[in-house]
Structure 1
């Protein structure tokens, strides 16, 4: 176990290092730089001022040298300074990360739980009325663009009925408590659940149908096991193995945010932050945010591997029992 975890840690560090090189190189190759934006905002800056600012921020150095300087500073705990927000990167990142987790973690849990129930229900009677109805809802959720769904939710519940606010993080002058934010959380949460649950349900349904056709299910029923026990205690456990892979890959989105939904509902999360930092050439914020999303995705893959062991006794960390 420890050897496996150490191996995955080393691999993860290698991926993060490579990711930092790629992201830094791509951002360095983007047209323009922060100084160009400063010049556009302040026409009084002279070419000499621009040269001095580029030297001050290290923008006159080669890309590889800038990356090496950033890496040395990051390893010492200095993640840099945000040009757009005029604050250290952690001070910009942490509040946005908290907002994204507040929105995406409940959406992830609700979507997975709903998909589990709906997928099993659809698989128990393939091509039946329940399966057809659930399949229709799933395809609708997969096909509906999130921005269109967000607009329809705003039109219905905010403009039409007036039950919920159209967007924002909380009431003006509020205390920022969860209770005060809850009405503002409802619509973006519902939007994310609707667009996510369909795909998860299809994976659960496909896995369950495959497992319910296996010989061990018929054997369990022949020995007197009830239909409920066969489905929930035997078939579901094996059907979840491919689903765990999908959930592990989706784990990284918990910190990378949902740009469209956050924009539509004016939710100040990581998706909007990453977009603004990339478009504004705020290198430090964009780089740290993307590396954080990569690290969480790697952690999700590790949790998925551990989940395989819990679900399938034939699987061990690193080998397969036959």
Structure 2
């Protein structure tokens, strides 16, 4: 579907997933109104301004998640809004409410409320997370199948002090409640741990996990991983906009990959690499060996996901030709 003549807003546009959404929208002919915290911060925006189609079809706007109405100018005149802006970190320095939960929840409602005031907006696509589908400590075995009906229990996440999980869960719940009350056409994308090539010039959380593996560490302290390519995640967002019948949530996540398999791909680039073996400390409750049902996202036309090995190789190659990776 050609996006020519259509206008889309992307919040938090300098982020990892958002940058790829912007790139894809521009390639498909959309005009993009992108929000960032500081349009004058060239380090955060230069990768966006370097994309094909930016000269006539990309406009940057300043917006703050916690500032009421600050997204109005960017959303005015848009046909659709992609809300991706939300803090991503597993650690908080002092107050999880201020650092994670408020920006995620209040920021989401701030954006959605603005959308209800702009009559041209027909559909909103929210970037959520598998964190809002199931808490990491949820005990699931290899025969369990996770689908879009699974929701993380916020009380469980709070009890375990999983603040990022809690922030994504509460934000998605608030979004669904708001959308229902305001008869909004809302679509939610729930990706797993996102990896693959980087457009921006800084390490986000998921890419930093791979950087740590390249240094011989195991930051998540687990024997298995499950990754999804950023290009597939961006495509799922855009397909969710362009598919008239799209509705509800869409899980998009990759297959289970053993740490040994990841090491084997890494050794193609770093032959002497040895990732720390901490099996005695592995959090087996964090096991990701459950099955994931991807039937719904296939309805968007995403039938074949990019193989994990390809995502890893593309990211490793990027690390080795930039200064983001320091051995």
Question: Larger % of helix: which?
Answer: 1
Same fold (TM over 0.5): no
Higher relative contact order (CA 8 A, sep 6+): 1
TM-score, normalised on structure 1?
0.20
TM-score, normalised on structure 2?
0.20
Give the greater-gyration-radius structure (CA): 1
